[in-house]
Amino acid sequence: MLRVVLIAGMVLIAGCDMPRDPEGTFRRVQGGTLRVGVTEHEPWTRWEGGRPSGIEVELLESFAQHLGAQIDWTHDAEGRLLETLQGGSLDVVIAGIKDSTPWSSEVALTQPYLELQGDRYVMAVQQGENRWLLELDRFLQSHRGQALERYRQEWTP
Amino acid sequence: MRTSPQFEFPPEQQVALRQARRWAWITLGYLASVIVVMYLAMGSSQAMKTAWLEDVLSLAPSIVFLIATHIAVWPPSKRFPYGFHRVVSIAFLVASLALFGMGAWLLIESITKLVQAEHPTIGGVTLFGHTFWLGWLMLPALVWSAVPSIVLGRKKLPLANTLHDKVLHTDANMNKADWMTAAAAMVGVIGVGLGYWWTDAAAAAIISLDILYDGGKNLRQVVFDLMDERPTTVDRATPDELPEKIRRRLKLLPWVKDAAVRMREEGHVYFGEAFVVPRDETNLAAKLQHASQVCRDLNWRVHELVIMPTPALEAALEGGDATNDQATNDQAENVDSSTVETSKPSAE
Query: Hey, where are the domains in chain A?
Result: 20-155
User: B46-57: per-residue pLDDT in tens?
Assistant: 888 888 988 898
A1, A130, A135, best to mutate vs chain B, most B CBs in 10 Å: A130
Residue B115 forms contact with A (CB below 8 Å):
no
Indicate the pLDDT class of residue B134, thresholds 50, 70 and 90.
confident
* pLDDT at B323 > cutoff 60: no
Residue B125 forms contact with A (CB below 8 Å):
yes
pLDDT of residue B6: 63
State the burial class of residue B147 (Cβ atoms within 10 Å of its Cβ: 0-12, 13-18, 19+).
middle
* pLDDT at B314 > cutoff 60: yes
Q: Give the mean pLDDT of B234-256.
A: 91
Distance from the A130 Cα atom to the nearest Cα atom in chain B, whole angstroms? 5
CB contact under 8 A, B124 and A2: no
Gap between the Cα atoms of B21 and B36, Å rounded: 23
Residue A111 forms contact with B (CB below 8 Å):
yes
Who among B123, B126, B194 is closest to A16 (CB)?
A: B194
By percentage, how much of chain A surpasses pLDDT 90? 38
Enter the ipTM: 0.81
Indicate the pLDDT class of residue A124, thresholds 50, 70 and 90.
very high
CB contact under 8 A, B190 and A137: no
Domain map (residue ranges) of chain B: 11-226, 242-338
- Classify B242-338 by CATH class: alpha beta
User: B68-98: per-residue pLDDT in tens?
Assistant: 888 888 888 899 988 888 888 888 888 788 8
Which CATH code for domain B11-226?
1.20.1510.10
* pLDDT at B333 > cutoff 50: no
Q: Please identify among residues 15-54 of chain A the ones whose CB lies closer than 8 Å to any CB of chain B.
A: 16, 18-22, 24
State the burial class of residue B79 (Cβ atoms within 10 Å of its Cβ: 0-12, 13-18, 19+).
exposed
B66 close to B25: Cβ distance less than 8 angstroms: yes
pLDDT of residue B338: 42
Q: Give the mean pLDDT of A3-24.
A: 72
Q: Give the mean pLDDT of B211-225.
A: 88
* pLDDT at B26 > cutoff 70: yes
* pLDDT at B176 > cutoff 90: no
Compute and round to an integer the Cα radius of gyration of chain B: 25
* pLDDT at B344 > cutoff 50: no
Who among B123, B132, B187 is closest to A133 (CB)?
A: B123
Gap between the Cα atoms of B1 and A146, Å rounded: 83
By percentage, how much of chain B surpasses pLDDT 70? 88
* pLDDT at B326 > cutoff 50: no
Residue B139 forms contact with A (CB below 8 Å):
yes
Indicate the pLDDT class of residue B37, thresholds 50, 70 and 90.
very high
SS3 B311: coil
Handedness of CA B265, B229, B243, B159 (dihedral sign): negative
CB contact under 8 A, A111 and B123: yes
Residue B271 forms contact with A (CB below 8 Å):
no
CATH topology of domain A20-155: D-Maltodextrin-Binding Protein; domain 2 (3.40.190)
Q: Which residues of A touch B139 (CB under 8 A)?
A: 9, 13
Indicate the pLDDT class of residue B61, thresholds 50, 70 and 90.
confident
SS3 A32: coil
Average pLDDT taken over every residue of chain B = 83
Q: What is the DSSP letter of B232?
A: B
CB contact under 8 A, A18 and B135: yes
Closest chain A residue to B194 measured between Cα atoms? A20
Who among A13, A126, A137 is closest to B131 (CB)?
A: A137
